Structure 1
Amino acid sequence: MKIPYLLVFIFLINSPGLWAQEGQESLKPIEEALASYQYQKAYSLLNALSAEDQNSEAYYALASSTYRALGYSNEARSIYQAWTDLDSTSLEAWLQWAQLESQVQEYDEAFRIYSKLLRLDSSNAYFYKLMGQLQLKRENPVGAMGAFMEAAQLNPKDSWIQSQLINLYLEFQFYAQADSLLEVNLQTDPDSKLLRQLALRSAFIQKQYPEVLEQSVALFQLGADSTYSLMRMQGLAAYHNGNYSLADSSLQRAIQLTQDRETLYFYLALCKFALDANAAGEAYLRAAIKAGISKAIPVYELNLALYLDEEKRYTEAIPLYKSVYEANESPLMLYYLARAYDEQYKSKTTALSYYEQFLEKGQDEPFRYLEYSRERISEIKKVQHFQAE
């Protein structure tokens, strides 16, 4: 049975006696103190050792374990420097040193040391795995991908490495590579929640909504929690797939799991309208506008204005059309404003002005809107002419 690398590392840290050389009886009390997690006691015992006892790999292993446990990073660095001076090929010394630097967020120094490790042993998948993790912390996804690819080639059965590669492929929009790797790994481990989540994410990014629904069902069958991300993707996929009832229920659950509700309110509104629950749809559109902080607010306002227009609630629609026009100067808003004023008010002066502005600025808009505007301008002017006589 394989012992996970992390457990191996913890075992080595907490069992420095593995490093002890025969005959160094003076180190045994320190080993015992570390075995019982008495790090302050171990620290005192280390300081009481003779100079002769402080120059061996066994001592350095004990001292580094003690200093790291106590958070004495500078002292630990001094030990690792002395240890690697004594044995420049000690993989354990370089590994622990690199992990220390990564832990205290000295990522450039950790990179230097991991690079040294890989020069010492370029066939070690675990070292490439650690380098990949470090490169992610350094916000170097290209370097991370290179390291994980090396690790995967040396240890293709490590599912975590495979998942990191898939994540990076998705980040770089290498969808074919991501899906190919997902297919291979899901054949090996179809019950992996992590792989299913990645398959869900890949399908969602690519707008493959039936696949999103299939993967969400698979995740629930595997006992996955109803997380915000899962419910949101299932809800949006269901909406785009025309399953408005599922979309409604999924988005309702998602909305309880986040404070970022703007987009969810909007899609819930669309679901309600599709389900003929118009009052609820209107309420959700108003909620989306109120919660809105994104550039999509004019979209919410336009949808609400169009609904109110259909309901002949023109006085409520007009300020929304104006707000949308101020945001994007779409000539079509001038047409909607003209019609709303035309329908709502006996005086046609404002409506006429908007129709004329629309004809001037909306030459690329649909012909039927342009034709209707010309007809109304002609009719309004005729009425105004007769009224003036």
Structure 2
Amino acid sequence: MIFRFLPLLLLLLECLTGMAQSQQEPWVQAQEHIRRGEYIQSVPILQKLVESDSTQVEAALQLGFVQQRLGQLPAARKTYETVLRRDTSQTEALNQLAILSEKNAQYRRALHYYQRLIQLDTTNAYLFKQAAVQYSRLEQLGQAIAFYNKAVALNPQDIESWGELTRIHLDINDAAHLKLAGECVEKGLTIDPNSIRLLLQNSRVDFRLGRFAEVITSLQKTMAQGDSSAFYQRMLGRAYYEIDSLDQSIFTFRRLLNAGEETEYVYGGLGTAYLLKAKKIRLILISMPSVISNRPFNWHKPGCLTTRWAWEMSMSWKANLHPSNGLLKSTRKPLTCPNVRRLCTDWLSCTIPIR
């Protein structure tokens, strides 16, 4: 009896197999085009698959991917939105829509998609970090800090989040947030003590706290790794003269000028360093007579250890300091005292104007 219906069963099985193959063949063909980078050829195949079967979520996601690669961003957005209408919890579609929104600078919309993703997965540190990025772009810094804190709570090894937390605390710029910035950058540096970004941020924290020796230590490390950004070089020059390393400060600012950084900030820093050095020389010259001899000092006496000119030169920083570029000018003259001659020659040798 069963053998009577065997041909019919075989025919039915062949039809079902053919239908499955007919569905599978376009998908395989589309995948082959994508593998070869032939995205344009894969688009009509994928579109046909999606239109013929509304449940083809994988084909729709693949179509959106191809449209993105071809730069068809509005079409890709529509494709992903279609997927979401069929399945509101489709995470890949939500993620791609968030990325597309970021590319178009639609940060509020991107934030909306990341918040929906967070509702679906509350343990993903990356999603909290991306939401924090959008809050930061929208200048909602309190919310940005809250979401970055959640991100580092889930992933304490995330150096990027520690760096962003430090940056935001520094940008808010008050005593409480400065303390928090120091704590964040310290935690980041325990993970990677050679991170250039964190070392630079650490130098900003130390600078605001007046810890100039620590600023120099951090910036020397970043310089050793190849960082030479003008902003932090100016900070280094300032830190040097704050700890009375005036020659190092002058050298740093002159190096910036030689590199083409001829800005008012660099000239101002260089001028300040020269001014401080001139004051230092002046104090040395003033104190020399009392150190060398207890007798009353006569500036007009011809054979004196110094000359009246040495005194005038030590005072000349007031007259010769140019307000815009801070470069001191002077003229060499012979001195009778070798020690004073050496001091003044050293001073003059490092105050030649930079052209």
TM-score (norm 1): 0.63
User: In structure 2, how many angstroms separate the alpha carbons of the residues matched to 1:155 and 1:266?
Assistant: 44
Q: Which runs of 5+ in 2 are unaligned?
A: 1-22, 282-312, 332-355
User: In structure 2, how many angstroms separate the alpha carbons of the residues matched to 1:112 and 1:185?
Assistant: 29
Match of 1:289 in 2: 324
Match of 2:215 in 1: 212
Structure 1 ranges of 4+ moved more than 6 A: 277-284
Deviation at 1:240, TM superposition (A): 1.4
User: In structure 1, how many angstroms separate the alpha carbons of the residues matched to 2:47 and 2:120?
Assistant: 32
CA contact (8 A) 1:30 1:62 kept: no
Check 1:107–1:180 CA distance in 2 against 1; reply closer, same or farther (3 A cut): closer
Match of 1:79 in 2: 79
CA contact (8 A) 1:185 1:195 kept: yes
What is the SS of the residue equivalent to 2:228?
Answer: coil
Counterpart code for 2:252: S
Deviation at 1:282, TM superposition (A): 8.8
Instruction: Write out per-residue CA displacement over residues 27-46 of structure 1, whole angstroms, 9 at most, x where no aligned residue.
Output: 22222222333222222433
CA contact (8 A) 1:227 1:254 kept: no
Counterpart code for 1:180: E
Match of 1:268 in 2: 270
Match of 2:89 in 1: 89
Q: Indicate the RMSD between aligned Cα atoms, in angstroms.
A: 3.1
Match of 2:36 in 1: 36
User: In structure 2, how many angstroms separate the alpha carbons of the residues matched to 1:59 and 1:162?
Assistant: 39
Q: Which runs of 5+ in 1 are unaligned?
A: 1-22, 291-299, 312-389
CA contact (8 A) 1:227 1:257 kept: no
Instruction: Write out per-residue CA displacement over residues 345-378 of structure 1, whole angstroms, 9 at most, x where no aligned residue.
Output: xxxxxxxxxxxxxxxxxxxxxxxxxxxxxxxxxx
Instruction: Write out per-residue CA displacement over residues 6-38 of structure 1, whole angstroms, 9 at most, x where no aligned residue.
Output: xxxxxxxxxxxxxxxxx6331222222223332
Counterpart code for 1:39: Y
Counterpart code for 1:238: Y
Q: Looking at CA atoms only, which structure, 1 or 2, has the larger radius of gyration? A: 2
Matches within 5 A, 1:150-189: 150-173=150-173, 174-189=177-192
Check 1:214–1:111 CA distance in 2 against 1; reply closer, same or farther (3 A cut): same
Q: Identity, % of aligned pairs?
A: 23
Q: Quick check: 1:60 aligned with 2:64?
A: no
Instruction: Write out per-residue CA displacement over residues 202-235 of structure 1, whole angstroms, 9 at most, x where no aligned residue.
Output: 11233321111121122234x2322212211110
Q: Which has the higher contact order (CA 8 A, sep 6+)?
A: 2
Match of 2:341 in 1: none
User: In structure 1, how many angstroms separate the alpha carbons of the residues matched to 2:218 and 2:320?
Assistant: 28
Deviation at 1:86, TM superposition (A): 2.0
Counterpart code for 2:324: I
Matches within 5 A, 1:242-321: 242-257=244-259, 261-276=263-278, 286=322, 289=324
Counterpart code for 1:289: S
Match of 2:234 in 1: 232
User: In structure 2, how many angstroms separate the alpha carbons of the residues matched to 1:283 and 1:95?
Assistant: 66
